[in-house]
Structure 1
Amino acid sequence: MRDLDKALADIIAIRSQLAAGTAFRGYGPVAIAATGGLALLTTLLQFIWLEDPTGIPLTFFAGWTATAVVAAGMIGSEMRARSRRHHSGLADAMIYQAVEQFLPAGAAGIFLALVFWKFAPEAMWMLPGLWQILVSLGIFSSARSLPRVVALAGAWYFVAGFTSLVLTSGSHALSPFVMGVPFVIGQLLMATLLHFASGEEIDAED
């Protein structure tokens, strides 16, 4: 049994090494672009229905949390299908690696929101900008297994996040446009970059 366990462990290690050295092709332009459309829809609905988002921050962020959950489901569904098609036997390892790379940024965004809500509600105006910065860090973390041009999307979110913080630093107001527009542009940019890079056979560096 020990020999069998060691052999299985070696196989898992080899698969992980192969996954780490292979460009991930699970992110699909269609799903990424669709999440940009979803962000645009949420922005417009909140602009129409929420007269004072700053006065009802929980409603404001609940809408964006629901949008993020639906977007993650859309991306995850296409990621699974594309990974099976492009990576066959390595699909599970590639998906695990992609989730592992983005997970710290996603978890940080969730815990930041909880801490602000519980202990510093007056600072919740900072969340849109901080979330955009965290998305940029997640993209940069994933860039080593993606086409290099994807780093441009990370740079966009990085700049947009700090710009959002500067724009709202005086009023401390929550705005559907400050939250939504960077994500609309960022997701459409990401989809465009993935579309044009999809025909390239790019191997991640060791």
Structure 2
Amino acid sequence: MRDLDKALADIVAIRSQIAAGTAFRGYGPAAMAATGAVALITAILQFWLLDDPTGEPLGFFIGWFIAAALSGLIIGIEMRARSRRHHSGLADAMIHQAVEQFLPAGIAGVLLAVVMWKFATETLWLLPGLWQILVSLGIFASVRSLPRTVAFAGAWYFVSGFAVVALASQTKLLSPWTMGLPFVIGQSMMAAILYVASGDHDVEV
């Protein structure tokens, strides 16, 4: 029985090593473009419905949490379908690896919002920019298993995050556009990069 357990553990380890060295093709351009549309729609709705986002931070951030959850669902559904199609037996390991790479940035974003909401509400205007910086770090963490050019999208979020912080520091106000537009551009970049790379000519295997 011990030999069987060891053999199974070795198989799992081998599959994990193979997955780590394989280009992940679970992210698709359609899902990325759709999440950009979600960001644009969210920004437009908040522009219409929230007269003062800074005075209604709960409505502002709930809107973006819903947008993030919907985007995650869209990406997750396509990721699972594409992974089954492109990675077959390695699909679960590849999905686990992809989630593992981005998860720290996602958790940090949620915890940052909770802590700032509870202990430093006067600094909530920083969150849109900080979230963009965290997204960039998540993308950079995933570069080794994605097309190399996704680094351009990571660089966009990195620069836009600091630019949004600098811009918002002038007024210390929340705006749906400083949240929405960077994500529309960033997700559109991701969609274009993945579309161009779909022929495998830009993917390290």
**TM-score normalized with structure 1 length:** 0.98
Instruction: Quote how far apart the aligned CAs of 1:200 are.
Output: 1.3
User: Aligned pair 1:72/2:72, yes or no?
Assistant: yes
2:74 & 2:56 partners in 1: Cα distance?
28
Displaced runs of 4+ in structure 1, greater than 2 A? 201-204
The one-letter code of the counterpart of 2:142 is S
Asked if residue 14 in structure 1 is aligned to residue 14 in structure 2, the reply is yes
Which one-letter code corresponds to 2:152 in the other structure?
A: L
Letter in 2 for 1:21: G
Cα distance, 1:203 vs. partner? 2.9
The 5 Å alignment of 1:1-206 reads: 1-200=1-200, 202-204=203-205
1:132 is matched by which residue type in structure 2? Q
Aligned equivalents of 2:48, 2:181: Cα separation in 1: 15
TM-score w.r.t. structure 2 length? 0.98
Q: Which amino acid aligns with 1:203?
A: E
Q: CA RMSD in A?
A: 0.7
1:2-30 CA-partner distances (Å, limit 9, x unpaired)? 00000000000000000000000000100
Return 5+ residue gaps in structure 2 as ranges.
none
Tell me how far apart the structure 1 counterparts of residues 17 and 11 of structure 2 sit (CA, whole Å): 10
Distance 2:135 2:115 in 1: 18
- Structure 1 residue 170, shift from structure 2 partner: 1.7
CA distance in 2, matches of 1:150, 1:125: 28
Q: Which deviations, in whole Å up to 9, do the C-alpha atoms of 1:71-98 show, x marking residues without a partner?
A: 0000000000000000000000000000
In 2: Cα distance, 1:132 partner to 1:79 partner: 22
Kindly, what percent of the aligned residue pairs are identical?
Answer: 69
Q: After superposition, what is the alpha-carbon deviation per residue over 1:44-103, rounded to whole angstroms, capped at 9, x for unaligned?
A: 000011000000111100000000000000000000000000000000000000000000
Report the secondary structure of 1:148's partner residue: coil
